[in-house]
């Protein structure tokens, strides 16, 4: 048994050795063949331009001989020899030029040339014309044997300035050809935003260079096909040749580009060119041919009259969406700045005594709630609706039409392109004009970021203080008023000391950590846990005592801490706030209770105005048996408002309080799933189930009643109330679509990053976004993924706000903390911060007289005419850029027929 096994092993070893020898031999044969081919290619490539020059001289001599002899001297044998010699030289020159132009590498060839091309005498027995044509196109095809779907390998040399250098040619070439890159490719723009995954994708960008060489084909033969290739390349890309001195030799293109570029540097239009900008242009040899050429191309693209049919359809749909908004949003018939007499008188009355009530004669108006909407009539017997409003069926139909437009692929692509275009324009503006903006700010006397007006456009009153402030206040009350009866709980009245004893707490035990009102990691995507942070020490009874105005002590503690916050706000002088305070809609008496709390505690400050927030909690009230239908909530919210408007004497304190109210807000967790409303929804009286209505259902009925109320209040010379809800913090984009049609401003709006169409519409309509990145970081979106910097660069009307200082912020000045973090993380300049602060004033509901004092006598004019740098510290060049960019987009959407108002929309 040992003998057969030994023989098998020997046979196997012999086979292995034989196969190894054959493989080694094959490898060496293959290596030798490849080395020969590569050596041949290296020899061809390393031939100096001298051969080409000699070839040209020989050619010229041959032509002179032919011309001199008249084409008939010399023997036929000599002529054949000369033609063969000339053919070989031509073949060698053509080989050299084509291969050098195609940049073949000695180590890893970019293409694999065919054998026929390497044969110098191949096809030279054909007539000259056929040979020329055969080398023009077929030879180029043979060079590129890589499949058509694959891009060529990039093996070109660069000079460190993103330019391709050809050492064997006459010119240094700077070219721009489209290439496909992604935002994460190393060749992408350094300014690109990687945080937003929704924008990731493959896009056509500029920056790739042309591989074909124009300067090395110097043969006098007419290569027809090669010229076609050159002409096609020139049509598809703008290639600019620059000689050794760095000067452009394409006169027409460069002169036009430089003229338009220098004209674009003078953004003021006064014929003056800023010194820093000229310095930048003068010191950069490629500036006229790269950055400014791009800008000229962009302007030419915007002003192009020829548009495709698909583009015209997109523009038409965008225009229709903008017209839909105009049909819904309430606008005052007379702008505030045109009511000079009324404005001055009301301002003087407010400053004298905001709580003094003068009896006002009631009017004969009659109102009636029908199908969830109040209708107003001129008298008791009149049946004509004075202020008709769009029906719910029409609104839901229009909203569905808007959502249909936002879902179309061609509209999404076009809007995304326009938004990216706006973003790149802003970056180009910063490259050219950042120094000018900085110098303008330095020249503005007295103003800087700290002493310009900033409005906190979104902050909840119950969380308006920071946690340290609330802790000090609780300790002071526990020390000074321990025997104050503060709550009725468990069938008995309890003092403040007894409440803390029942919780096994003392004033000495309290600290910020025990208070536990600050948002942490546990609140991310947990709106329920975030709301529990309103309970100090996790106890709802402490919230009722210190943070409620309808309690046993009639909100005295909350009024005192509110006055302290308002005092700090006034001490800062340049910070203002718009506080949200709740009306729940459980009963109509809530309005009188809230108004009496304001008047009795004398809560008023010129640095603060108030908004009413309505929690969307119908399902909770229905489950508890507080209401029977959605109509009950609408009655409890709006009937008292119409009563006090028709007859202020019926609710005098409410009449005084409404003078400080500037807006309505809708609040709750938007991430809750909901069913999209249909065109024919049940009326509020028919909504008796336990499910909460959709966001757009709430929004429409609040809008419809506010529209009628504002019409009535404006007719009586009273201040109006705008709809400014929470929207786009989470949930579906349906919320943003409804808000686009109905609302003046919104809070948050971070979900606009998911819909380029709605984002573009919000930009065109300049709808204000009161964004709170630190609050979003605790609830729904990490800070580095927040779209605020992208929205700002694209020109959306954004402002920063604190939302919930009690849960979010650590310092006494929550709004400055928002600005500080944003400036550090997103590298915002002083000009950026001042522009955001300026936006906050325009978004706010402060009076015309206040804005007149803060921003100058012409603040209501659109564009740079309405900007006073000595008030806002925003350079005129920044405002001009924003205004002109918006006008260009409106011209694009309206095909050059857009009209631009001289005044801002109130």
Q: Which residues of 71-85 are buried (b: 16+ CB within 10 A; e: fewer)?
A: eeeeeeeeeeeeeee
HSE-CB for 502 with a 13 A CA cutoff: 14
Q: What is the largest CA-CA distance in the chain?
A: 134
Beta-sheet strand order (sheet of 745-748): 726-727, 745-748, 768-771, 798-800
Residue 803 assigned as binding residue: yes
| DSSP one-letter string for 8-76 | HHHHHHHHHHHHHHHHHHHHHHHHHHHHHHHHHHHHHHT--HHHHHHHHHHHHHHHHHHHHHTT--S-H
Give me the catalytic one of 375, 461, 744, 748.
748
Residue 460 assigned as binding residue: yes
Retrieve residue 398's tokens: 């229009």
Question: CA Rg, the chain, in Å?
Answer: 38
Residue 31 assigned as binding residue: no
Known catalytic residue: 748? yes
Report which of 475, 476, 541, 484 is spatially closest to residue 509, judged by C-alpha positions: 475
Asked if 767 contacts 736 with a C-beta cutoff of 8 angstroms, the reply is no
Sign for the CA dihedral angle at 884, 889, 895, 897 comes to negative
Residue 525 assigned as binding residue: no
Residue 807 assigned as binding residue: yes
Contacts of 894 (CB under 8 A, 6+ apart): 315, 319
Asked if 467 contacts 806 with a C-beta cutoff of 8 angstroms, the reply is yes
Distance of CA 890 to the CA centre of its chain: 17
Asked if 376 contacts 387 with a C-beta cutoff of 8 angstroms, the reply is yes
Residue 119 assigned as binding residue: no
Residue 729 assigned as binding residue: yes
SS3 annotation, 469-510 = HHHHHHHHHHHHCCCCEEEEECCEEEEHHHHHHHCCCCCCCC
User: 485-489 and 366-370 as β-strands: parallel, antiparallel, unpaired?
Assistant: unpaired
Residue 680 assigned as binding residue: no
Report which of 734, 874, 750, 744 is spatially closest to residue 801, judged by C-alpha positions: 750
Report which of 684, 877, 837 is spatially closest to residue 266, judged by C-alpha positions: 877
Distance CA(715)–CA(724), nearest Å, equals 22
Contacts of 803 (CB under 8 A, 6+ apart): 458, 459, 460, 463, 747, 772, 774, 775
Contacts of 869 (CB under 8 A, 6+ apart): 440, 441, 444, 447, 875, 876
Residue 10 assigned as binding residue: no
Distance CA(394)–CA(403), nearest Å, equals 14
**Beta strand spans in 154-202 (E):** 172-174, 177-181
Per DSSP, 541 falls in state H
Strand, coil or helix: what is 179?
Answer: strand
Residue 531 assigned as binding residue: yes
Residue 806 assigned as binding residue: yes
Residue 615 assigned as binding residue: no
Residue 320 assigned as binding residue: no
Binding site as annotated, residues for Zn(2+): 458, 460, 726, 803
- Show which residues are catalytic: 748
Binding site as annotated, residues: 458, 460, 529-534, 726, 729, 803-807
């Amino acid at each position: 048994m040992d003998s057969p096994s030994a023989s098998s092993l020997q046979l196997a070893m012999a086979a292995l050795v034989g196969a190894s020898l054959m493989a080694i031999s094959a490898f060496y044969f293959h290596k030798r063949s490849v080395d020969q081919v590569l050596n041949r290619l290296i020899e061809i490539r390393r031939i100096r331009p001298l051969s080409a020059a000699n070839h040209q001289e020989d050619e010229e001599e041959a032509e002179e001989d032919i011309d001199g002899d008249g084409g008939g001297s010399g023997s036929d044998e000599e002529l054949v020899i000369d033609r063969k010699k000339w053919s070989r030289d031509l073949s060698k020159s053509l080989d050299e030029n084509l291969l050098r132009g195609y940049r073949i590498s000695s180590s890893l060839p970019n293409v694999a040339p065919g054998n026929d091309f390497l044969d110098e005498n191949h096809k030279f027995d054909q007539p000259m014309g056929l040979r020329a044509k055969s080398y023009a196109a077929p030879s180029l095809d043979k060079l590129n044997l890589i499949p058509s779907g694959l891009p060529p390998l990039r093996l070109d040399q660069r000079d460190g300035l993103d330019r391709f250098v050809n050492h064997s040619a006459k010119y240094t070439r700077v070219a721009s050809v489209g290439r496909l890159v992604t935002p994460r490719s190393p060749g992408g723009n350094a300014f690109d935003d990687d945080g937003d995954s929704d924008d990731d994708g493959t896009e056509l960008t500029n920056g790739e260079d042309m591989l074909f060489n124009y300067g090395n084909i110097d043969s006098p033969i007419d290569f027809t096909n090669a010229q076609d290739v050159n002409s096609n390349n020139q049509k598809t890309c703008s290639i600019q040749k620059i000689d050794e001195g760095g000067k452009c030799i394409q006169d027409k293109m460069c002169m036009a580009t430089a003229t338009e570029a220098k004209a674009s540097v003078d953004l003021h239009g006064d014929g003056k060119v800023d010194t820093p900008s000229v310095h930048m242009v003068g010191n950069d040899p490629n500036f006229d041919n790269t950055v400014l050429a791009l800008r000229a191309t962009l302007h030419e693209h915007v002003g192009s009259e020829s548009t495709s049919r698909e583009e015209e359809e997109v523009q038409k749909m965008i225009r229709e969406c903008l017209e839909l908004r105009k049909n819904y949003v309430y606008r005052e018939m007379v702008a505030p700045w045109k009511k000079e007499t009324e404005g001055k008188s009301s301002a003087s009355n407010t400053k004298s005594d905001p709580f003094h009530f003068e009896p006002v004669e009631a009017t004969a108006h009659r109102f009636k709630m029908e199908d969830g909407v109040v209708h107003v009539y001129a008298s008791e017997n009149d049946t004509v609706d004075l202020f008709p409003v769009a029906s719910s069926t029409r609104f839901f139909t229009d909203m569905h039409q808007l959502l249909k437009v936002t879902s179309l692929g061609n509209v999404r692509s076009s809007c995304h392109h326009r938004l990216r275009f706006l973003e790149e324009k802003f970056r180009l503006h910063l490259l050219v004009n950042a120094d000018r903006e900085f110098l303008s700010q330095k020249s503005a006397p007295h103003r800087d970021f700290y002493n310009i007006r900033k409005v906190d456009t979104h902050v909840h009153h119950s969380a308006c203080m920071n946690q340290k402030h609330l802790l000090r206040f609780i300790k002071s009350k526990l020390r000074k008023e321990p025997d104050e009866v503060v709550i009725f709980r468990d069938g008995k009245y309890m003092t403040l000391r007894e409440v803390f004893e029942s919780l096994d707490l003392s004033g000495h035990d309290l600290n910020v950590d025990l208070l536990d009102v600050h948002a942490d990691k546990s609140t991310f995507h947990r709106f329920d846990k975030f709301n529990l942070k309103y309970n100090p020490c996790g106890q709802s009874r402490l919230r009722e005592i210190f943070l409620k105005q309808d309690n046993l002590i009639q909100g005295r503690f909350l009024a005192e801490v509110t006055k302290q916050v308002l005092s700090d706000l006034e001490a800062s002088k340049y910070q203002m706030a718009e506080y949200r305070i709740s009306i729940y809609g459980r009963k109509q008496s809530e309005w009188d209770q809230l108004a009496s709390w304001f008047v009795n505690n004398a809560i008023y400050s010129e640095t603060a105005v108030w908004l009413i927030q309505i929690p969307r909690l119908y399902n909770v009230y229905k489950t508890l048996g507080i209401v029977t239908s959605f109509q009950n909530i609408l009655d409890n919210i709006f009937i008292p408002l119409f009563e006090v408007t028709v007859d202020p004497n019926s609710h005098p304190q409410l009449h005084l309080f409404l003078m400080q109210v500037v807006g309505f807000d809708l609040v709750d967790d938007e991430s809750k799933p909901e069913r999209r409303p249909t065109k024919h929804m049940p009326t509020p009286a028919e909504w008796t189930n336990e499910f909460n209505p959709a966001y757009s259902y709430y929004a429409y009925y609040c809008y419809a009643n506010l529209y009628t109320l504002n019409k009535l209040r404006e007719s009586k010379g009273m201040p109006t109330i705008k709809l400014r809800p929470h929207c786009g913090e989470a949930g579906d984009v349906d919320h943003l679509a409804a808000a686009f049609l109905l609302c003046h401003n919104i809070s948050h709006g971070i979900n606009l990053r998911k819909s380029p169409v709605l984002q573009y519409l919000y930009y065109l309509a300049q709808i204000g976004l009161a964004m709170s990145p630190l609050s979003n970081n605790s609830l729904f979106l990490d800070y580095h993924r927040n779209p605020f910097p992208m929205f700002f660069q694209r020109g959306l009307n954004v402002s920063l706000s604190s939302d919930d200082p009690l849960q979010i912020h650590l310092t006494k000045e929550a709004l400055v903390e928002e600005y500080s973090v944003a400036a550090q993380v997103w590298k915002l300049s002083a000009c950026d911060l001042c522009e955001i602060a300026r936006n906050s004033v325009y978004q706010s509901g402060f009076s015309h007289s206040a804005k007149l004092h803060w921003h100058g006598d012409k603040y209501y004019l659109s564009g740079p005419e309405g900007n006073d740098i000595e008030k806002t510290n925003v350079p005129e060049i920044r405002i001009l850029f924003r205004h002109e960019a918006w006008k260009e987009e409106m011209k694009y959407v309206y095909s050059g027929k857009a009209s631009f108002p001289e005044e801002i929309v109130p």
